Amino acid sequence: MRVKVRRRLKGLGAALVKNTVYVLPNTDEALEDFQWLREEIVAQGGTAIIAEASFVEGISDEELHAMIESAGSGPADADAADSTETIEPGRTWVTRQGVFVDRIASAWLIRRSIDPKARFKFVSPRGYKPLANEVRFDMVGAEYTHVGEDCTYQTLLRRFGLDEPGLFAIGEVVHDIDCKDEKFARPETPGVLGVLRGIADGTTTDEERLERGFRVFEDLYLFYSSRRRGGAT
């Protein structure tokens, strides 16, 4: 497990300070990456601690940023995830502001295959308490989030019994981008990442990101489905 965790930390761009102490900048995205990894470690019987820290002596901020830059160049239990679920249509699905790959893909999947009347709400990730009729996704502590090695999109596939090959193929792309571990290494993955980064850079609201991202994932689904029908793998 240690080798796997080190590989994941390297994929996240975390810098090794001393022994088993790794650091990332204090951002919501970095905190979430560490939280996902901690859940994977705990699921496999290990332990991990996430702490916010300031270094007073021994290492400067400039040195720390250089280490991170250098490194960057190089919830529910698993048994519950196996059951098929349904949900009353028209729920409000809540996720973190600044949606990107897993949140965009998960929202597309929710609207397409789980809750066609779904409404989406974007909130600050820290300390949010859901209201009645709200369901959280891709947030730590959410009803639908990372489970073990699965990203949220893959968790939704399993929890709702969605077994279309095209949807699974998209899950592999989303997993590798979101978890940064190149587990599936599909050739389309870098291109999808580039398109999604362009969408993020070219939009000002999460609603716009979803609107444009939905088209990307719908086209990707058609691509994988047509390859399947044509006999390609």
Does residue 111 register a pLDDT over 70?
yes
Q: Tally Cβ neighbours within 10 Å of residue 200.
A: 17
Average pLDDT over residues 2-22: 74
Residue 78's pLDDT is 42
Does residue 8 register a pLDDT over 90?
no
C-alpha pair distances (Å), 32 with each of 57, 67, 179, 198: 27, 20, 11, 22
Residue 63's pLDDT is 55
pLDDT tens-digit readout, 54-77: 764 555 565 566 556 656 554 444
Average pLDDT over residues 21-44: 85
The structure tokens 């975390």 sit at 14
**Model confidence at 133, in pLDDT bands (50, 70, 90)?**
confident
Residue 46's pLDDT is 85
Percent of the chain with pLDDT over 70: 82
Residue 79's pLDDT is 45
The structure tokens 């390859």 sit at 227
C-alpha pair distances (Å), 15 with each of 21, 22, 59, 61, 213: 8, 5, 13, 13, 31
How is residue 83 written in tokens?
């059951």
pLDDT tens-digit readout, 169-211: 999 999 999 999 889 999 999 999 999 999 999 999 999 999 9
Mean pLDDT, rounded, of the chain: 85
Is the pTM higher than 0.85? The answer reads: no
Does residue 123 register a pLDDT over 90?
yes
